[in-house]
Amino acid sequence: MNTDRAKVAVIGSGLMGRGIGLAFAIGGHDVILVDLNLEILNKSLEQAKSTLSILEQEGLTSEPIDKISSRISLEPSIEQAAAKSNFIVEAVFENLEVKKDTFRKLDGASSVETILASNTSSLPISSIASATNHPERVVGAHFWNPPHLMPAVEVVYGEKTNDSIVSKTVEILRDIGKKPAIVRKDIAGQIGIRILYSMIREATYLVESGVASAEDVDTVVREALGTRLEVVGPLELADLSGVDLVNNVAKGLYKTLDDSVEPQKIVKDMVARGETGIKSGKGFYNWKSGSQTVDEVLRKRDSHLIKILRERRNEQTRN
């Protein structure tokens, strides 16, 4: 595949699909955004243009936003989009049967040389690929939210994924400025989600056990762990601390860590009360009358990510 002329289709124009399409368009690729109807697609395109305007203001676009947005076309037919594409990213609802149905259609309508990638964060790539006649060309490409700002993408092997498909996927992702991480086994949760949920499980345990409040747990994660994890991964940290020290601490600490195989009671009770987080206005935090609104937290998150991208771009320019 010549990544300079890759025609990318993104199936699903919701939050993730729209951001994925935007990342490819910013990276210079023609993008076909696919959804149920043109009304949904036109709304998604307007939201993408609004995001582009913010990125332009922040100095994170190297071309006029009209030129970038002109690379995005809209198509309500999966089959029509698949026939015109050589790299397809599925970003539909996180449901195995929905994804299998989508891949069944993509498999029948696209060239056998077209790469079929799924943005799933938790479902097995092999199960999704089983709906196709060519599972060797199906690969995971798990973008993180927001996709146009987050550099990492997990590239996941299915049981039958061809090595060349993974290599080409890595190539096209690097071409748009992403940092691919290869997941060599089709494991639930891949890399990031497994680590994230291990952290959520322990954080929830600490709150449920009365060790600390949700606010204090998050303070330690943000202001201690988070400030270092931006530049030093957990295994680098193990080396810096000393693997012998990690070994000694683990001997005692691992026995005390939460090992729940089901969500804790505090979580089940919250769900039963309808306290589902920002959707209901209350979860671990009260989002209706708390110190921060959802919009304020999202703006703070995006401003932080934009700052990181700007610093990296300036560093690349200096080098």
Give the domain ranges of the chain.
3-183, 192-288
Architecture of the domain made up of 192-288: Orthogonal Bundle (1.10)
Measure the CA–CA gap between 85 and 81, rounded to whole angstroms: 6
Q: Which residues of the chain have pLDDT under 50?
A: 1-3
* Separation of alpha carbons 157 and 136, rounded Å: 9
pLDDT given at position 45: 96
115 Ramachandran zone, left/alpha/beta (phi>0; psi -120 to 50): beta
pLDDT at residue 234, as a whole number: 96
pLDDT of residue 2: 46
Phi/psi of residue 298, each to 5°? -65, -40
DSSP-derived pairing of the beta strands 152-156 and 138-143: antiparallel
In tens, the pLDDT along 59-89 reads: 899 899 999 999 999 999 999 999 999 999 9
Strand-pairing partners, residue 7, are: 30
Chain segment 257-267, per-residue pLDDT in tens: 999 999 999 99
Q: Look at residues 10, 12, 195 and name the one whose alpha carbon lies nearest to residue 94.
A: 12
β-pairing, 7-11 vs 30-34, is parallel
The whole-angstrom separation of Cα 266 and Cα 199 is: 16
CATH of 3-183, one of 2.30.29.30, 3.40.50.2300, 3.50.50.60, 3.40.50.720: 3.40.50.720
The two structure tokens encoding residue 319: 């080098």
Asked whether 65 and 49 are in contact (CB, 8 A), the reply is: yes
Please confirm whether the linkage preceding 135 is cis (ω < 30° from 0): no
Residue 6 is predicted with a pLDDT of 73
Residue 201 CB: number of other CB atoms within 10 A? Answer: 18
- Three-state DSSP class for 9? strand
Tokens read off for 142: 């798990």
Closest CA to 184 of 222, 151, 157, 144: 157
Q: What is the pTM of this model?
A: 0.92
Q: DSSP string spanning 111-140?
A: -TTSEEEE--SSS-HHHHHTTSS-GGGEEE
Order the strands of the 72-75 sheet from edge to edge.
Answer: 72-75, 30-34, 7-11, 87-90, 115-118, 138-143, 152-156, 179-183
CA 179, CA 136: separation in Å to the nearest integer? 23
